Amino acid sequence: MPSPSRCLTAGDAFCLVRDLAVQPPTGNPRVGLELEWLTYPTADPTRRVDLCDLTTVLDAINGGLPCDSRLTVEPGGQVEISTLPLSSVSDAIDAARTDTAAVRETLHDHGVELVAAGLDRHRPPVRLIDTPRYRAMEAYFDHAGGDGRTMMCNSASMQINVDFDGDPRDAWRAANIVAPMLGTRFSERSPNRLDVWSRIDRTRTAAVVGDDPGEAWAAYALAARVMFIRCSIDECVPVLDDLTFCEWIERGHPLGWPTEADLVEHLTTLFPPVRPRGYLELRSIDALDDDRWPVAAEMAVTMLLDGPQRRAALEHACP
């Protein structure tokens, strides 16, 4: 929540973001997978699931999945599992497969189907989750058009998380080669999820540019627009005047001056194809069916870890 007086400089903010971006390798790199699906009522796929029914079922199985994946519901009723960080991509795939099967079976028994598709083209985007954060996000995106609401409520993706391995700069460069390549290879016909993302506020969805991941991410974050200001646990106020975080630091706002906590929350509202969060987070791939998401995961991780395939990708990308 903002402070009544200035308590953060641009230099402080830059250093904080830079230091959060990269954690040095500590041994065997870990891999985590996040799989997301659109949800449809079995009895009538033209409408949305009932949120109360969905959350009741998910609350009953959350924390009890065989491989301990975390289970969440996204704004439009999408369901997502996030595996634990595991020691190899094969372990992450096995865990995701096992927990996906458990979630799918339980939801099917309660009349809900999971559909692996990047974009829901048939139902209007309707936000089901009513929290201060999501209300503010929706207002921010609606101010610029309808694509942000479509992204929030009518899209689903696969996310691949990999620890930095070897030289962080090489890992970062490889990730920014792999992300658009796999995004294109595994995307649906146009218009698709990536098309929607390309039309949303580019200060928070464009690729992060720069050779050093920490410094590039810090510069990106400070230049990105502020989406909302959290005034309390129960209130987030959307910011609709194109105020960047750096400008908020320098000029303040009627609601106050940004704190470190405001900066950390600001980072969670930035959605580039590759996001450095102490590890590398690839966000460019559509939700995929059970035959294809393991292939995408294996390809991505093989090219991100320090080895011959990553070196070949980096050499091929050089002028």
Decide if 319 is inside a domain: no
Number of domains in the chain: 1
Position 117: which residue type?
A
DSSP-assigned states of every residue in 198-260: HTS-HHHHSPP--SSHHHHHHHHHHHSBP-EEEEETTEEEE--S--BHHHHHHH-BTTBB--H
What are the helix (H) ranges across 159-212?
A: 168-185, 193-198, 202-205
Helix (H) or strand (E) holding 70: strand 70-73
Residue 210 belongs to domain spanning: 10-313
Prior bond of 29 cis (ω within 30°): no
Decide if 5 is inside a domain: no
Decide if 4 is inside a domain: no
Decide if 2 is inside a domain: no
- Among left, alpha and beta (phi > 0; psi -120 to 50; other), residue 34 is beta
pTM for the full model? 0.94
Q: What residues form DSSP beta bridges with 282?
A: 160, 274
Low-confidence ranges of the chain (pLDDT < 70): 318-319
Nearest partner of 186 among 45, 35, 293, judged by Cα: 293
pLDDT at 318: 57
Decide if 182 is inside a domain: yes
Decide if 318 is inside a domain: no
Residue-wise pLDDT for 188-242, tens only, equals 777 889 889 999 999 999 999 999 999 999 999 999 999 999 999 999 999 999 9
Decide if 3 is inside a domain: no
- Pull the structure tokens for residue 44: 């009538």
- How many other C-beta atoms can be found within 10 angstroms of the C-beta atom of residue 62? 16
The span from the CA of 158 to the CA of 34, in Å, is 6
pLDDT at 27: 79
Contact of 138 with 128, CB cutoff 8 Å: no
HSE, side-chain direction, 13 A CA sphere, residue 308? 0
Contact of 5 with 132, CB cutoff 8 Å: no
DSSP reduced 3-state for 160: strand
**Any idea how long the chain is?**
319
Helix (H) or strand (E) holding 283: strand 279-286
Q: What is the CATH number of the domain that holds 242?
A: 3.30.590.20
- Pull the structure tokens for residue 179: 């992300």
The span from the CA of 225 to the CA of 300, in Å, is 30
pLDDT at 191: 80
Which residue do the tokens 């966000």 mark?
283
Decide if 305 is inside a domain: yes
